[in-house]
Each structure stands twice: as C-alpha cells, then as structure tokens.
Structure 1
Amino acid sequence: MIFIDNEGHTNPKLNLALEEYALRHFDTSTDYLLFYINEPSIIIGRNQNTIEEINQDYIDRHNIHVVRRISGGGAVYHDLGNLNFSFITNHDGKSISNFKKFTAPVIRVLNKMGVTAELKGRNDILVEDKKISGTAQFSTGKRMISHGTLLFDTDMSEVAKALQVKQSKIESKGHKSVRSRVANISEFLKAKMTMQAFKQQLLIGLYEASEPFETYKLTDAEWQAVHDLKAEKYDLWEWNYGRSPKFNIQRNKRFSVGEIDLRIYVEKGHISEVKIFGDFFGRQPIEDLENLLQGVRYDKDEIKKTIDNIAIENYFGKLEKPEFLNLVYGTD
C-alpha cells in the first residue's frame, strides 16, 4: 500500500478533488491510503438535497465550506480537529458495502491506543455507544474508495449549529442524514495527544498490519490536474447545490399585509415553478412575480438580484423586500 502525501492542504474542495483524481488516475495495480484534514466545512453526500441538510445563514456568517462528495451517505461536519482517511483499492466485487474490511485496521489501532472502538450498524465506529467515525464508499466499477471521518478533537457545538436546518416543509427524494450521538476520540485517550501525533500514531499502526508503506508525492503536473478538477467540479455551485434531487418547499408566514403562502418547486437547483397564495392585496397580478422567479437559481443571492429592480409592494402592499426574500429562501 502507498501513502499519498496531500502536503498539508486543508481546503476540502482540493482534498476531495485529490481523492477523486487518485481514484481515477493512479496505478490500478496498487492500493493507496490518503489522510486529509479540512478547514470548517460540511461535506454533503452524493444523493442529498444540500439545503435540506445545512443552516445556510450560519454557514455564510462563518465562512464554512459546503462541498458535495462522490460517495453516498449523510452530511458530516469537518474541521481541523477531524482526520479523514481514504483507502483506494480495486473493486473485487466483494468489498463494496463491506465496511468491516476497511474499518477493521483503524479499529485495531484505536484499540491499541486504549480506545475501545467497535463497528456498529452498517458503517459507523462507536466508542461507548457514541459515534466517533462514519464511513462511505464509491466505486467506478474497477476501482473504489472507502473513506471515513475520525472525530479527534472537533468542535461539537459547531456541528450542531452548522447542520441545524431551519424549520420549513421540504419534500425531497434526497437521502436525509440521521443524527447520532457523537464524541471525540480525545475524550477516551488516557493522555493528551495532538492531532499530528494522533495522525502519526495511526499511520504507524496501519503500517504494522501490512508491508512497509511507500509515501508518494504528486508531481507538479498531477497537482495541476487536481486543481483543474477542483475548478471544474468541486468549486461549482452546480455540483455542490445544483445537483440536489428535485424537491418542493412550502413556506408561509403572516405579515402586516396578510398571510403569504409559498409553494416552490426546484429541479436541478433552479426554480421550475412557484405559486404564491394568501390574503394580501396587491396592485399587480401575482402571476407576474411568479413568472419572474421561474428559472432562477435557488440561491439567496440570485433571488435577491432577480427582485432587486422590482417594487415588491406592488404585489403585496407594504412589505419590505428583505422580508419576502427571507420567506422565499427560509432564512428567518
């Protein structure tokens, strides 16, 4: 097995691009191990509806990355206290969904550290019934990745805030996350340890179970290809938000002008249809506003730009534009 050196990069979009690039382009006769640590970010599962999983207001205020990964499963929070591991191997027809095969070496090393970890359910590593790791897989047919998180010293208060979705009625076919009781590995260690020391000890422990590892450093050309993949995919709203499954939203609120009830239909990240109901009084047909919003990207800034040049009071009476925007995007 070869250990891939990510050279200390903490940008989640770059790290996920590196992982995918290695999966698709590295030597298929070799197994690889990749470690990476990300800046504060929410990593969305391949089949999830992004806005259903995140607190967008909080994320915007705290500059938290939102990135979709190529594997399935639920949304997870990453920060500098979370170590991610990724095994890149051939798909032998038996390994996909065999989470035990890839978590066993990690569990063995954790047990050696005095952390009584065990695989519970399908793909979670638990200590004393608290989740310290979740794993997911993806296969190209010939190659596969089995990757996971290791909550070492993550800020748990941030996990709750960043993943606390605002209350609204969203109907989606996307895979919804199931929240579990979580804990940090550092809570179960007998002596304090830095993240770097933990990473090194884990790596040494994994070395012991196999032939000596070789460390691989990417060439300049390979890094350029990784940056290109990041720019062409992981940097894009279309991948991180627009790829969400078709979903419907219902929101209503009573204002001084009356009640406004919205039904929004979103497909491929864009508003395919919107219907506005209520007991408000306006001077212009509400259908004009509905038609204006149709086709707009379901993104707060894009919606704001769309309504910036219209007089919203013509449709509802004395209603402030930010009030309507908050209702459309569910930020209040």
Structure 2
Amino acid sequence: MNQPSSIIASHDDGLNRASWNAGFDRDWLTLHACGDRPDLLRFYRNQPAASIGRYQALEREIRLDYCLTRGIEVVRRASGGGALYLDENQLGLSLIIRRPAQWGCLQDILSRFCMALADGLAHLGVHALFKAPNDLEIDGRKLASAFIATAGDSLLLQATLLIDADIKTMLEALRVPTEKLTVTGLESARQRLITLKDLLGKIPEDAVLQQALRFGITDALGVGFADAGMEAVDSRLHGNDDTNRETEWSEASDVALEALHKTAGGVLRVRLWPDAGQQRIDRILFAGDVHLHPADALERLECTLAGLPLTEAEATARAFFADFPCDLLGFATEDLCRVLRLALAKLDQQREFGLSPAQANSLMVLGSETTHDTPAILAQATVMLMPYCAKPAWCKWRHQDDCVECGKCEVGDAYRLARERNMQVTTITHYEHLTATLVQMKSAGVAAYVGACCSQFFIKRHYAFREAGMAAVLMDISGANCYELKQEEAAYAGQFQAEASLDADMLAKVMQHVPAQPDEPTQGIIPLTPLNETRKRA
C-alpha cells in the first residue's frame, strides 16, 4: 500500500432522502471548488428514489406517475450519466477531491475511480472488472456504476454499489431500461445485474465493506482516511435551471422539434423551437445520459445558438467547440452536430412531406456512407419492414411474416403501399428475425429501406440498425409498446400480446416519396417464413 501523502475526512451518513444526499454533494462540491471545504469521502444509503443525471430530460427517463403514486422520490444529480433506481439496498459513495495532476480526461478519471473500487472489493474476495465508460462488472453482470461532476479543479466522484436489488421496482421506475440494465425484461435483468449478496452469500457489514473500499482508494490516490464529523452545510438543492429544463421537455408543444442520436457515451437528445417564421432558433435544449466537462458546456451552447438563423446553427456549433474545447466522454463534437442536423431536418420533413411537428418527430432517420437526407433515402428504398406488434392481437397473421391486406389495420395499408411500388415487404416476428433479415438485405445489395418500430427499441438496438450499413427511414409506433408494459422478453421472443399503433396518415405521406420499382422485387432477399418455423422444420 502506498504511504499516504495526505489525510481525507471519511464519514458514514447512514440512510437519508436521496434529495438530501444529492444536495449535500452538490453543495460540498461548490464549496470545495471555492476552497471552503476539505476533501471528503462519504458513504450513505438512499431512501427509494429515481435519480437522473445532470443532463438528462427527466420525462424521457423516468415513469413519473409510477414514482408519484408509490412515494418514490425523483432527484437530479450533480453528476452526468444515466438514470438509476436508488434504495437502501445500494451503498452510495461520494468522493470530493482536487483533480490529481496525473489523472487525464474524464474517461481516464472514471476508469481510475472504478478500478480503485475494484481493488477495494478484491479485499473481500470480489473480483470485478471495469467496463467502459462507467461500470464495474463480474462475468458481464453489472455490480456498480460510477458518475462524475466537476467544478473548477474539484471532482465529485459518485458510485452506487449493489448490495441487494429490488429489480422489479427498478424496471417500473425507469422509463426506458437501457441495454446496460436489461436486455429482455425482468428475468434477463436479474441475469444482467449481480449483487454482493449474490457473490458473498450474505450482506457484508457496512464497516467491513467501507474499509475495503477505503483500501482501494488509498492505493489509487496515495492518501489516508480519518473518521470525522462534518460541519453543517446548506443541503438544499440548487435550482440553477433544472426545474425549467424539466418543464420545457415535458410540456406539450405544437412547434417543438425533437431528435435523438445514440453514441458510445450515451443517447444525445435535442429539442428545438423555431421562431414563428421558421427562420431562426427561438429556443433550444440539449440533453443526454452523458458526462462532459466543463459542466455547463451544453447550457453555453444553447445560449450561443438561441436567436441564430437555422442555416447558421451547425457552423456556429462547430465554431463554439473550436473556441471552447470540451472533454466529451464517449461522444464528440460531430455527434452533437449530427443530432442538431437531425432536429433541423424535421423542418424540411414537415415542408416536403406535409407532416405535423409531432409526425416529423416520429421519424427516425438512419443515414449511410452515401445517403443522409430523408428524401434521398426514400428515393432508394426498396424494402419495407413492419413490426408484428402493430398488427391486431386477434389477427391470425400477427406472428407471420406476411399479410393478406384485409383492410382492418394500418399494417395492411403499409403492405398495400409497399406492393404498389413493387417493394419487398415483411413483418418482423422477433429480434433474431430482424438481425437475420438485415444481414440478408445487405448481402442482396439493398441500399435503403423504410419501416416502423418504437423509439425505445431504436435506441436500445441502435447498433443492429447501424451495423447493417443501410440507410433507413423508420416511423415511431405508439400505444401499448413492450417497453411501457415491461414485456420486452415476450416481445423479443415474438410473444407480445398488446397492440401498438402506426400513424396511417404519416405512413401515406412518407410513402408518397418512395418511387415504384421498375420491375418485380427480387425474391429471396427476405425469408418468407419466420425463422422459428424454419428451425422447426429443420
């Protein structure tokens, strides 16, 4: 163990409301940056709460009605990153220190912090590995997550360690279970998470666990710890603009345009209000489950873009980052420019296709190396993919990859519109069917396609669409999707029973811009029989 070069105060705060813990960390970090508080390591537990990162859009991440009716507090952290469910089953840890000179970018800091925690857990016989950007895992199962906030030269490093887990409430409270949390629902969530109770066969004593974590941090930082009481601080949450941002993301709007873009560092979102003449940016908000430094970079960018002509927005954003270098964890300036372009393109989609803002927001456009804009993608589209969950539950063709166009649902309308254009069309019956179909389409030389899926699925399985290497225009489906009903496992297996809905008006407007193919579509691009039936025959 390294000889301590300094002593850091260490304290166990016990069980508190999550807002108290978040407010305490925020206040101490602010005072620490001003030189008014010493370094601190603090352990604590949280009463039930849904916690979102500093940059997230609350209503896109949390099931607020569920939390409200069950007395689950909703709190915004000072740190970045994604949403998580907190309760007394998790040990919280906050380390507030001066940024060590030898520590580099945010990713380096988080990796060092996570590895320090892993070294500490090794004293208990628990051997966890760091999984970028901010998790500790054992055999692919998440044990802990870490988050970071900055203020001047001060760092707030937070971690939540799973001692035990109430996974059902966790999935109920979080609006969109990301693939880091769950792949196929409750049972798979249990397989994706692991707790100290699972690993050790019992819940370790707090004193033993905390001492082990101190050992790991001591070796990483070369510091020592001393138990200490703390001076009282004002632990009230600072409002800055958090409440206003939440309101503006949740409010209904007839003109606001939204876009999202999945990156390695998290999902980026933008919400843009054009002026009445649709020539300038009236207001704009960025959000995401990301980490970045300086902490107020997105707010500064928003102020820079507000009032500008739409045509100058992207160039101004690039110039902003050229003059104001930022440390962006897992994403880059180009990703922010891309999500901005996607939002600006919504105006063009409204004008060209006759869409309402809500309909334009429902379009998810995936470009390729050669095709980026929506009209160009539609002009090249030769295949249509439809999700089985948009077919009525009573339909005997619901779990088949074809449709007889009986005229009783929007999927039948989609089939008719596709066949009128000599497009090949199929119903995707489960996730493996989708991945196999995309591979076959790529092999057959398909350049672009149209389709439908819910935005949650698009975010969660973005890599499948991206890795296929084809451009696509996907329409969001609404209503009873498997994510809202927490039935991902059934849906992925092709057994989801509730019905989603497809906007028939939007579908017709979009398909007007897909030209008819000159000849009959090439047969064999898409398997005409669902893969599960093929396996049965085999």
4+ residue stretches of structure 1 with deviation over 6 A? none
Deviations 1:70-120 (A, max 9, x none): 111100111001111122111246253321221222101212212220101
- Structure 1 residue 212: deviation in Å? 3.8
Change (3 A) 1:198 1:79: farther
TM-score for the superposition, normalised by structure 2: 0.40
Give me the whole-angstrom Cα distance separating, in 1, the residues matched to 2:104 and 2:58: 31
% of aligned pairs identical?
25
From 154, 160, 164, the equivalent of 1:143 is 154
Is residue 28–residue 143 contact of structure 1 (8 Å, CA) maintained in 2?
no
Q: What is the alpha-carbon distance in structure 1 between the residues aligned to residue 257 and residue 9 of structure 2?
A: 42
Offset of residue 263 of structure 1: 5.0
Q: Does 1:217 align with 2:210?
A: no
User: For the structure 1 residues 77 and 177, does the alpha-carbon distance in structure 2 shift closer, same or farther, using more than 3 Å as the test?
Assistant: farther
Ranges in structure 1 where 5+ consecutive residues have no aligned partner: 167-175, 251-261, 274-326
1:39 aligns with 2:51: no
2:68 corresponds to 1:60: yes
Q: CA deviation at 1:52?
A: 0.9
Hey, what's the Cα distance between the residues in 2 that align with 1:119 and 1:28?
Answer: 33
| Residues 194-241 of structure 1: per-residue CA shift (max 9 Å, x gap) | 45255444355347645541123123xx23x22xx33x549xxx63x5
Aligned positions, number: 243
| Other-structure match for 2:203 | 193
Deviation at 1:31, TM superposition (A): 3.4
User: Secondary structure at 1:161's aligned position in 2?
Assistant: helix
What does residue 125 of structure 1 align with? 136
Q: What code does the residue aligned with 2:16 have?
A: T
Q: Tell me if the contact between 2:14 and 2:43 (Cα under 8 Å) persists in the aligned partners.
A: no
SS at match of 1:36: strand
**Any idea what SS the aligned residue of 2:54 has?**
coil
Structure with the higher helix share, 1 or 2: 2
Q: Structure 1 residues 233, 8: CA separation in 2 closer, same or farther (over 3 Å shift)?
A: farther
SS in 1 for 2:55: coil
- Give the 5 Å matches for 1:244-283: 244=246, 247=249, 265=256
Q: Of Structure 1 and Structure 2, which has the larger fraction of its residues in strand? A: 1
Cα distance in 1, alignment partners of residues 144 and 75 from structure 2: 19
Q: What is the identity, as a one-letter code, of the residue corresponding to 1:5?
A: H
Asked whether the equivalents of residues 248 and 265 of structure 1 are also in contact (C-alpha less than 8 Å), the reply is no
**8 Å CA contact 1:248, 1:264 repeated in 2:** no
1:164: Cα distance to partner?
Answer: 3.5
SS of the equivalent of 1:97 reads helix
CA RMSD of aligned residues (A): 3.6
Distance 1:218 1:208, change over 3 A: closer
Give the aligned partner of residue 295 of structure 2.
none
1:114 aligns with 2:125: yes
Change (3 A) 1:249 1:11: closer
Indicate how the Cα distance of structure 1 residues 87 and 265 shifts in structure 2: closer, same or farther if over 3 A, else same.
Answer: same
CA distance in 2 between counterparts of 1:87 and 1:148 reads 9
Is 1:88 equivalent to 2:96 in the alignment? Answer: yes
Pair 11,199 (structure 1): closer, same or farther in 2 beyond 3 Å:
farther
Change (3 A) 1:208 1:50: closer
2:11 to 5, 8, 19: 5
Partner of 1:294: none
- C-alpha distance after superposition, 1:274-326 (max 9, x if no partner): xxxxxxxxxxxxxxxxxxxxxxxxxxxxxxxxxxxxxxxxxxxxxxxxxxxxx
Contact kept? 2:57, 2:246, Cα under 8 Å: yes
2:57 match? 49
Q: How does 1:4-23 map to 2 (within 5 A)?
A: 4-5=10-11, 7-23=13-29
State the Cα distance separating 1:154 from its structure 2 match.
Answer: 2.1
Q: Is the 8 A contact 2:124 2:212 kept in 1?
A: no
Show the 5 A alignment for 1:284-295: none
Which residue of 230, 242, 245 corresponds with 1:243?
Answer: 245
- How far apart are the structure 2 equivalents of 1:149 and 1:19? 14
Cα distance in 1, alignment partners of residues 250 and 156 from structure 2:
32
Matched, 1:24 2:30: yes
Provide the C-alpha distance between the structure 1 equivalents of 2:31 and 2:250, rounded to a whole number of angstroms: 38
Segment drifting more, 84-93 vs 31-40 = 84-93
Matched letter for residue 131 of structure 1: K
Match of 1:94, as an amino acid? G
Q: Which has the higher contact order (CA 8 A, sep 6+)?
A: 1
Indicate how the Cα distance of structure 1 residues 89 and 200 shifts in structure 2: closer, same or farther if over 3 A, else same. Answer: closer
Distance 1:177-1:70 versus aligned 2 partners, 3 A rule:
farther
